[in-house]
Amino acid sequence: MTEPEFHKLLQRYLNGRCTPEEQAVVERWYDRLEQAEGPLLRSYDKEEVEQAIWARLMSRRAAEPEPRVVAMWPAAPYRWAAVLALLAFGIGWLVLGTGRFRAPSRQNTVATTDGGWTRRSNPTQQVQTFRLPDSSRISLHPGSSLRYTTAFAGPRREVHLDGEAYFQVSKNPQRPFLVFTKQVVTTVLGTSFRVKAYAGSKDASVAVREGKVAVQAREGAQLDASPTHPATTGVVLLPNQQVVYSAARQRLKKELVDRPVMLAPQALEFEDRPVVEVLTALEKAYGVDIVYDKAKLAKCTVSITFYDEPLFEKLGLLCKSLGAYYSLADASILIHSTGCQSQIGE
């Protein structure tokens, strides 16, 4: 694939015009983006590309029905030489910094009112990025708006969101950062997370990429609550976790995001190793809680190698080798197994 073709592929993806096969290629490249090294890659506008792709993944998967129990017979991991070549080329091209890829636009509509408030709106079809006076970075989705005091002073940094945005908040433990929507209040001291709460919807969701976030219902919210001292009726989220607020049920439901990202890379190649060791490595890599019957799996071993598959595909491959299956419960993964088969292998 040539450089212009790769550029067009990324742009088609962000514009929502990729085929399913092209989407799979871009999303696999995205999964490997965090593993790329080198100062040139970090100096390139990598964050905007990464957040635009992650936001599109989250937005698309949020519209899908919530799976309760997951069947355990996925296809084998992709090992196409062509895909690996594309990934290598794409990351190398970003390192070179050709500048030909058009990152999400920074243009947006800004209005300042007499009451000392500033409103930024995004009437375009692309994610818009800007910085607040405290240097916090905002990626505002199409059809969304963010309102904040122009001076951005006081003991708390408060913003009001209609729609969807990704926040990269500058750390300041002395001045908590609060995101108000009609449904929920999200409080952080400095971290990265997404909030989705459109005006026409009674529900809202908050998903965390890194750090710790406290979420509570807007009605009766304790504004002095924080991730270190959360409200009694609130929820504290860690990376790869999200909470969904249901107005009909008037409750917050914590769960895993649909596509957890790797937080702490681990060696994921196992040759006749205890299954418990494999599960522990996955827990550390993704910062998730995996619950299983330790007695039933205590003597089980497995030979398996993971590549760049998403977490749930890794779990599917592991469960298939064990004759088991997994399900999701709140922010935990439950492994259901009756014990070892007579023959266990990759």
**Which strands make up the sheet holding 332-336, listed edge to edge?**
69-70, 325-329, 332-336, 289-291
Given this model, what pLDDT does residue 228 score? 85
**What CATH class is the domain 109-256?**
mainly beta
Given this model, what pLDDT does residue 50 score? 61
> Can you tell me the distance from the alpha carbon of 200 to that of 150, in angstroms, rounded to the nearest whole number?
27
Per the CB < 8 A criterion, the answer to whether 176 and 189 are in contact is yes
Q: Give the DSSP letter of residue 263.
A: S
The alpha carbon of residue 143 and the mean position of all alpha carbons in its chain are separated, in whole angstroms, by 21
Enumerate residue ranges in the chain where pLDDT < 50. 34-45, 61-62, 64-89, 91-103, 105-106, 342-346
- Structural domain spans, the chain: 3-96, 109-256, 269-336
**What CATH class is the domain 269-336?**
alpha beta
Given this model, what pLDDT does residue 64 score? 47
Report how far apart, in Å, the C-alpha atoms of 106 and of each of 15, 147, 245 are: 16, 17, 30
- pTM for the structure as a whole: 0.68
Nearest to 58 by CA among 6, 127, 120, 5: 127
Q: What is the pLDDT of residues 304-334, one digit of tens each?
A: 999 989 999 999 999 999 999 999 998 999 9
Q: What is the pLDDT of residues 27-86, one digit of tens each?
A: 666 655 544 433 333 333 455 556 666 666 655 544 544 444 443 333 334 433 444 444
Given this model, what pLDDT does residue 231 score? 87
How many CB atoms are located within 10 Å of the residue 62 CB? 18
